[in-house]
Structure 1
């Protein structure tokens, strides 16, 4: 990025003379080749999500979430009712189009329409969703919405510095590590250092290319095994 200076010769950020605040995200349904995202609704999705999460062997998927594992279906549905129709975060259920059942959820959050920045968070993927084409496509659909439909400049990922799987996922998806905010949060009776990652609008064309190459049918064998990793297809010219 070229250097810019003001009338005093001081370095300043590059100009954005035509910048206008962006629209707030809306609750929409996003349909891909492998999954569908729907606004989270406790009545429609609650039982399916609880059943999907209950397939996990233990509660470790909730260690780095703000919520705890749910004792029963009623507890999860009560929690889901608190999430639906929120202005920020905005939660979406991930639907498997084969079974037509909800198998996970994620949210747009810390929405800053004035500056064109949004974070993806509250990523709660069940065993039915983890490490599938659906999981990757769910992230792609919301990223594409933020950058291409809303015109946002920045898309963030933050996680507990101890959560190595989340850190690995962010980098696999194309986020760049920006640093660690030390002692940023107290949650569940413990201190959290928070790792920050981002994708910005100038990164998006290359990130999008990687997603679309990876998600293409020809990248998978008849048994559903990937031929090339997402990271390799993002850097391939």
Structure 2
């Protein structure tokens, strides 16, 4: 039933005793297959090498940055990114090799409202379509919901970026809508697709992610026995 005020106007549900959340800390997150750690200049050379394994340039099509002509150019970007507080950049470290294989960030953080976005997701070929990729996203979700009590976690992408849209849906994000002509980047228009997970969604999504990530869900060659979607459906 919709609540109304004393004037008979519909109003939102109460959020009792809400005082906001703590800012997201720039500290490591440890997972089963990867660690998510503050991005530093020491990661630049290995990240550039990992990204260079993708030779078509498609990795950068929908990114606001890149491609980078040289390792020095990428290191200069990392050097700037390291000092940013919003976005708050992290490197994704393969614990099997202790090498960085991707980057992600929190951005548009609003702790007073309990809202944050994940973005600048840049996965090298060594990270794409691996359990590490899911593990990294799980760790970042777990921080905002379990550790800090955020109410909303967002994923936004170019509406034409089909792989990003599929990734968001696979991870349990709900499509919220389309913001037309939201940005101009790299000299072209971007309509932005918005996705979100709410705190009320998180227990179900968390259980599915943890079940999928367990060692018993993978055979001796590392292939999944059950899809993440099958756990989400359950």
TM-score, reference length from structure 1: 0.97
Partner of residue 207 from structure 1, selected from 198, 205, 208 = 205
Taking the TM superposition and a 5 Å limit, the aligned residue runs for 1:101-116 are 101-116=99-114
CA contact (8 A) 1:93 1:105 kept: yes
Deviations 1:16-45 (A, max 9, x none): 130012111111111111000110001x20
SS across alignment from 2:168: helix
Taking the TM superposition and a 5 Å limit, the aligned residue runs for 1:65-104 are 65-104=63-102
1:17 aligns with: 16
Q: Distance in 2 between matches of 1:191 and 1:37?
A: 32
1:225 aligns with: 223
RMSD: 0.9
How many pairs align? 234
Q: Distance in 1 between matches of 2:136 and 2:79?
A: 22
1:37 aligns with: 36
Say whether residues 1:181 and 2:183 are aligned partners: no
Task: Please list every run of 5 or more consecutive structure 2 residues that lacks an aligned counterpart in the other structure.
Answer: none
Task: Please list every run of 5 or more consecutive structure 1 residues that lacks an aligned counterpart in the other structure.
Answer: none
2:52 aligns with: 54
SS across alignment from 2:137: helix
Q: Distance in 1 between matches of 2:103 and 2:215?
A: 24
1:232 CA drift (Å)? 1.1
1:7 aligns with: 6
Q: Distance in 1 between matches of 2:79 and 2:181?
A: 31
Q: Distance in 2 between matches of 1:50 and 1:138?
A: 19
Q: Distance in 1 between matches of 2:68 and 2:35?
A: 25
1:117 aligns with: 115
Runs of 4+ in 1 over 6 A off after TM superposition: none
CA contact (8 A) 1:154 1:198 kept: yes
CA contact (8 A) 1:206 1:235 kept: no
TM-score, reference length from structure 2: 0.98
CA contact (8 A) 1:105 1:125 kept: yes
